[in-house]
Amino acid sequence: MSVMKVLRQTLLKYQTVLTKHPYKVQSIQTSVLMLTGDVIAQRFVEKKKLSEMDGYRTACFTSVGFAMGPVLQYWYTILERIAGTNGKAITVVKKVLMDQIIAAPLLLAIVLTTITLLFGQDLAGVRAKFRQDYLAVLITNYQVWPIVQLANFYFVPLQYRVLLVQTIAIFWNTYLSTKANRPIEGKTLPLKKSF
């Protein structure tokens, strides 16, 4: 069996499952890709040995991805309803603007808040985390995502948008994991949890 035939069959199976269970598929694929981003962050950015890797941290980041996948799918569906589906440049620009003005700041806030709380910080810790990292992460978001979303909204069918974004987001998730899990200056290190 040729590689192309295997890829084609895999894509057809993926399309079938995605059509039948869009939110489940988005949960699983987003969590796997966020897990991948965290592992890359720990191993290659933070240079941790396998024995030093923080499994709780990876589980937290993966869990956020599990919840975020359906949220992204729902958000893209809302954008289609509000801005339309005609594929014209103005429609795509509207979607990107709404995505970057509404979703990006909100979803980044949710990720930073959730990770900070999961590591045992209180609301004062969340505020400190925001003062330390939120603006820098949001600015970096605006340097990366508008161009990705322009291509995504213009070329990619609705059902594949989360997959495309999350595949590209492996690099973003690596960056975000590093920022979200960075100790808060002036605070004790986040609580270490164990399974």
Tell me how far apart the alpha carbons of residues 116 and 175 are, in angstroms, rounded to a whole number: 16
Please say whether the beta carbons of 69 and 29 come within 8 A. Answer: yes
Show pLDDT as tens, one digit a residue, over the chain (195 residues): 799 999 899 989 988 998 999 999 989 999 999 999 999 999 999 999 999 999 999 999 999 999 999 999 899 999 999 999 888 999 999 999 999 999 999 999 999 999 999 999 999 999 999 999 999 999 999 999 999 999 999 999 888 887 888 788 899 999 999 999 988 887 654 555 555
What pLDDT is attached to residue 129? 95
What pLDDT is attached to residue 188? 56
What pLDDT is attached to residue 60? 96
Please say whether the beta carbons of 121 and 129 come within 8 A. Answer: yes
Domain ranges of the chain: 22-180
Find, among 138, 141, 147, the residue nearest to 96 by Cα.
Answer: 147
pLDDT digits (tens, 9 = 90+) for 53-65: 999 999 999 999 9
What pLDDT is attached to residue 164? 84
What pLDDT is attached to residue 148? 94
What pLDDT is attached to residue 109? 97
What pLDDT is attached to residue 162? 79
What pLDDT is attached to residue 194? 53
Please say whether the beta carbons of 190 and 120 come within 8 A. Answer: yes
DSSP 14-73: HHHHHHH-HHHHHHHHHHHHHHHHHHHIIIIIS---GGG--HHHHHHHHHHHHHHHHHHH
CA quadruple 39, 44, 47, 53: dihedral, nearest 10: 10
